[in-house]
Chain A
Amino acid sequence: MDPVLLVASIMVSATPILLAAIGEMVVEKAGVLNLGVEGMMITGAVIGFAVAVSTGSPVLGFAGAALGAAVLSLSFGFLTQYLLSNQVATGLGLTLVGLGLSALVGASFEGVRAPGPGKLWIPGLAEIPVLGPMLFRHDFMVYVSLLLVAGVWAFLKYTRAGLILRAVGEDHESAHALGYKVVRVRMAAIFFGGACAGLGGAYVSLVRVPQWTEGMTAGAGWIALAIVVFASWRPLGVLIGAYLFGGVTVLQLNLQAAGTNVPVELLSMSPYLITIIVLVVISARGVHGAPGSLGRSFHASA
């Protein structure tokens, strides 16, 4: 088994859930639980595919996916933030809507081939032996996803806006009393989360598979949701969680392909097993890191 190829394919395999999870983390940091990640991802997958096919440009495809899924997520935002609907139920509804909508939009795109983004070799770095082919010869979205994680980390840690977002998520009553626009901040976070999920979906349909098939995200959105918890709502944790999950998935396929005599059942369940073990460890430590107002509706008069 070639470790260089292995690391390279882990990065590709992990990118969709990394994108979706970092977006969802921001949403949850703002105190909103949006379970509709799967629905937004699949919407992004179909819109990204449709735009890339129509325009011939994968970059426009990703932009369209981000915008489309973000607009869809605003419907969730409107229902939960203005009409105060239950976030769990609305999020699940969003997933169902996304799956149905994408099937409808995608019907005419089956069997069509999309222009995928080419590899972007980072000048200089790509030439480094071993590390070059491992880390620096990917399509541009892999780098975008990493930059996004770094950006979210810096935003939450160092900026005033990031501080406000965290305050809104920790205690929306206090944040409101201080004069911050709770609902507006949350709508912005929901929009950002939708855009990230859309990018993740488009990565599946434009790079990883690359084609459109109904239901093609196949549960990646749910894994992204789990990774946010796994990461204790920390950007670096999200990165580790996504790469770990993507890594174990790819590793088990590689071990099978290499004909190792490890039982297939054990290999197949290993990603879930590791997720559960980490969750247990986190719970045992007693530090969850969940934002204080997560999932609670806010109304100024309340």
Chain B
Amino acid sequence: MKRRTLLASAAVGLALAAAPAFAQDVPKIGFVYVGPVNDGGWSQHHHESAMKMKEHFGDQIELIEQESVPEGADAERVLTQMALSGADLIFTTSFGYMDPTINVAAKFPDVKFEHATGYKTADNVSAYSARFYEGRAVTGYLAGAMTKSNKIGYIGSFPIPEVIRGINSSFLHAKKANPDVEMSVVWLSTWFDPAKEADATQALLDQGVDVVLAHTDSTAPLSVLEKAGGYGFGQAADMYDYAPEPRLSSIIDDWAPYYIDRVQAIVDGTWESHNVWQGIGDGMVGIGEITGPVPEDVKATAEKMKADIAAGDYHPFTGPINKQDGSAWLAEGEVADDGVLAGMDFYVEGLTGEIPN
């Protein structure tokens, strides 16, 4: 026991002694991922954005990454280790890292932290998240415009506000393109299970759906659509491999501009804690190139919608919008406020079925 402690302290001591020698004046930037960096979805996109950031700064910074870190106690250990090894800024890229980040940040006031998709902040902890519902307005519009059966489907993961916002935004804009459209929602209770995603896609197709939107991480839905016919969208990644058919466009997580911005602040010494929720306009939400059989006028409308959202001229949740039970939510011209959106737990009018809880 004693010897182990001694060895451990010696190792920490060495690490502490070695760190400044190597990283003289070069800020050390850490990233912690919940999954493997090649998961094809969430973690991969944070990793790729981190690589773009590294490319941007070159030798000006040092990048350290840790993948497949479970949320909870392990995350605290990893974060502590990173802070001890001399990291100046650490990005923790999963919702479940929120409390570990806050805890570790309290012990290392000189180290800065950035937590993705959470809501807790501190003097040295920022929170950042993306307005994916902006992108889903565009893909929803395309879905509504491209369906021939007037039936579109949506594969939901977990019934959390982020996913429900996406469903509502997609449906409202599908309606704009095609007032007769109906949307079936299938909940899978998983972020990632290709076989289940494939079965869900097939089930939707069997019900007469011909355009499928998905909020799960794999490319399985596109793979099935390619085989069975029908259209879909890239999710989190561009998934351009599936273009021109069955992929119409995609909604892309692009964290690189934000990472570059925040690391620049470290380099400049101007970093301050904040809590941001960025969308298309800031470049955090990307829309993949609209390809394939989409008619020119539909494409033009979708692109204008994207531009208007980016410019702040259009908000995807603009009244009049009623809730599913018919009660009024937003009056004519009224725009949803972020508080309601952040906690959204209801369907808008026209959607059938119930949200599981």
Contact = CB atoms under 8 A, between A and B. Distances in A.
Interface of A: 1-2, 5-6, 9, 12-13, 16, 103, 107, 110-111, 113, 116, 204, 208-211, 213-218, 220, 249-250, 253-254, 256-259, 261, 263-265, 268
A35 B204 CA distance: 34
B297 interface: no
Contacts of A268: 187, 189, 356
B61 to A, nearest CB: 27
Nearest to B36: A214
Q: Nearest 8 CB-CB pairs, A to B?
A: A253-B203, A264-B356, A218-B193, A256-B186, A257-B207, A5-B206, A216-B194, A254-B203
A111 to B, nearest CB: 5
Contact of A209 (B190, B194, B209, B354): B194
Nearest to A215: B192
Where chain B touches its partner, the secondary structure class is: mixed
Contacts of A263: 354, 356
A257 B203 contact: yes
A111 B352 CA distance: 34
Contact of B354 (A1, A13, A220, A261): A261
Contact of B352 (A217, A249, A254, A259): A259
B204 A257 contact: yes
Nearest to A10: B199
A258 B183 CA distance: 10
B60 interface: no
Nearest to B352: A259
Contact of B206 (A9, A113, A204, A259): A9
Contact of B203 (A113, A214, A220, A256): A256
Given A12-B202, A256-B203, A261-B354, 15 more contacts: A5-B206, A110-B38, A113-B223, A211-B220, A213-B40, A213-B218, A214-B38, A215-B192, A218-B193, A250-B202, A250-B203, A256-B187, A257-B153, A261-B353, A263-B354
A110 B197 CA distance: 17
Contact of B219 (A111, A208, A218): A111
Contact of A1 (B40, B202, B207, B353): B207
A9 B353 contact: no
A110 B227 CA distance: 18
Contacts of B334: none
B196 interface: yes
Contacts of A259: 184, 352-353
B348 to A, nearest CB: 16
A116 B206 CA distance: 20
B198 interface: yes
B55 to A, nearest CB: 21
25 contacts: A6-B206, A12-B202, A107-B38, A116-B227, A209-B198, A209-B224, A211-B219, A211-B223, A213-B219, A213-B220, A214-B39, A216-B195, A218-B194, A249-B196, A253-B203, A256-B187, A256-B353, A257-B184, A257-B186, A257-B203, A258-B184, A258-B207, A264-B353, A264-B356, A265-B356
